[in-house]
Amino acid sequence: MINTKILGTTNEEIEEGAKILKNGGLVAFPTETVYGLGADALNPEAVGKVYSAKGRPSDNPMIVHIAGMEDLSKLTDRISRDMEILAEKFWPGPLTMVCHAKNIVPKVTTGGLDTVAVRFPSDPIALSLISKSTCPIAAPSANLSGKPSPTKVSHVIDDLYGRVDAIIEGKDCQVGIESTVLDMTEEIPMILRPGIVTEKEISEALNKEVRIDPSLREGVKGEFKPKAPGMKYKHYAPKAEMVIYRGDREKVSLAMAEEKMKRIKNGQKIEIIIFDETEPEKAAHEFFSRLRDCDKKGVDVILAAALKEEGVGMAVMNRMFKSAGYNIIEI
Ligand code: AMP
Ligand code: MG
């Protein structure tokens, strides 16, 4: 068990976090998407510790976080015009670009791949920590592998207290789901993980077609292998059984209410999750936190209504399907 320091957000405390990172330690910190667990991305030993603290499979690469455009050229020597356009439009912000990696990036950071995923976050605490550390920071979500991603510092403490050197106690994350991951290594960019930066926005910025990894469309059953290694793993799972109801909203509500009554009679504790379909950003903000609340309350079964699988709704549904292990009832 490691003696975990809880740090506030004063300059001195962020400075202390940065020093820990520089010395090869692990620091969890807030970003606008979800909390991240950071390590010096160019220090293989430090990155190795992230995998063990999270229990993360070693073929699941990390996103490397930077605090300025000059850091991008430390990681890759192939910055295309399209990458510049997207950086200009969406950075700092919740977009990750996968690009060809320079040799300086250790294989442990890229999960053995020749490419590296890079993001320039907008959260001021994250930016301050990265700049003070003076290294690019590898940072997957600061949860135990398989659990819902952490959107509040209490989630990070629940999962990682005693397993990391420090946790920075910031505010709740604004976005609530992880960044959009976009593969920029080919002529036509491809979305490997949907997020709040949507296909439409990217396509409009580049004025060209953007593909979506076919494996995102068909869940676990299909023959397509996802290009982002992390997308194949069981993810975001609450302790409760989870069932998604998909179809006309009114009929879905009725079916869920009926199922709830049936299950209560069987002595089960039920939670209903119905987000407003017209506000998928709000659903993104609340989703992971709702799952963790269910676990805390000892809920047995979560019944959740599907959102429309378009735009930000697609990103939320990608997480919801995984949380439920693709347990879907069509209404
Ligand atoms: P997390 O760090 O938990 O937000 O997950 C990062 C996601 O980005 C995972 O799904 C990874 O598999 C994916 N990823 C990271 N680096 C790469 C890369 N070089 N190529 C493809 N996918 C990547
Ligand atoms: Mg994660």
* pLDDT tens-place string over residues 188-215: 999 999 999 999 999 999 999 999 998 8
Asked whether the whole model's pTM tops 0.85, one would answer yes
- In this structure, the number of other CB atoms found within 10 A of the CB of residue 104 comes to 12
- pLDDT given for residue 77 in this prediction: 95
236 Cα–ligand 2 center, Å: 8
Q: What atom of ligand 1 comes closest to residue 181's alpha carbon?
A: 8
* Ligand positioned closest to the Cα atom of 101: 1
User: How large is the average pLDDT for residues 14-33?
Assistant: 98
Q: Are 218 and 224 in contact (CB under 8 A)?
A: yes
Residue 232 inside a domain? The answer is: no
Same domain flag for 161 and 302: no
Same domain as 246, residue 167: no
Tell me which residue has its CA closest to atom 5 in ligand 1: 140
Same domain as 247, residue 206: no
The partner residues of 167 in beta bridges, in order of sequence, read 6, 28
Q: Which of 32-41, 52-61, 95-104 has the lowest mean pLDDT?
A: 52-61
Q: Are 184 and 317 in a shared domain?
A: no
Residue at 309 is within a domain:
yes
Question: In sequence order, which residues have a C-beta less than 8 Å from that of residue 163 and are 6 or more positions away?
Answer: 1, 2, 4, 53
Distance of CA 254 from the midpoint of ligand 1 (Å): 38
Local structure of 40: helix, strand or coil: strand
**CATH number, position 148:** 3.90.870.10
Residue 233 lies in a domain: no
Residue 235 covered by a domain: no
Cα of 63 to ligand 2 centre, how many Å? 10
Residue 229's pLDDT is: 77
Counting ligands in written order, the one closest to the CA of 96 is: 1
Q: Is any atom of ligand 1 closer than 6 Å to the C-beta of 115? A: yes
- What CATH number is given to the structural domain containing 252? 3.40.50.11030
* In-domain check, residue 86: yes
Query: Helix (H, G, I), strand (E, B), or coil: what is residue 98?
Result: strand
What is the domain extent for residue 84? Answer: 5-218
98, 177, 236, 318: which to mutate for ligand 1, most atoms within 8 A of CB?
98
In which element (H, E) is residue 289 found? helix 280-297
Last residue of a domain, one of 161, 187, 218: 218
Q: How many domains does the chain have?
A: 2
Mutate to test the pocket of ligand 1, among 29, 60, 225 (most ligand atoms within 8 A of CB): 60
Cβ atoms of 268 and 328 within 8 Å: the answer is: no
Question: Is 252 found in the same domain as 211?
Answer: no
Q: How far apart are the first and last CA of the chain?
A: 48
Q: Does residue 223 lie in a domain region?
A: no
How far is 253 from 274, CA to CA, in rounded Å?
Answer: 8
- If one residue of 51, 62, 141, 182 were mutated to test the ligand 1 pocket, choosing by the most ligand atoms within 8 A of its CB, it would be 62
Q: What value, to the nearest 5°, has the Cα angle with vertex 64 and ends 71 and 168?
A: 105
Ligand nearest to the CA of 229: 1
Report the run of H or E that residue 115 belongs to, with start and end. Answer: strand 115-119
Structure confidence by residue, pLDDT tens digits, 265-295: 999 999 999 999 999 999 999 999 999 999 9
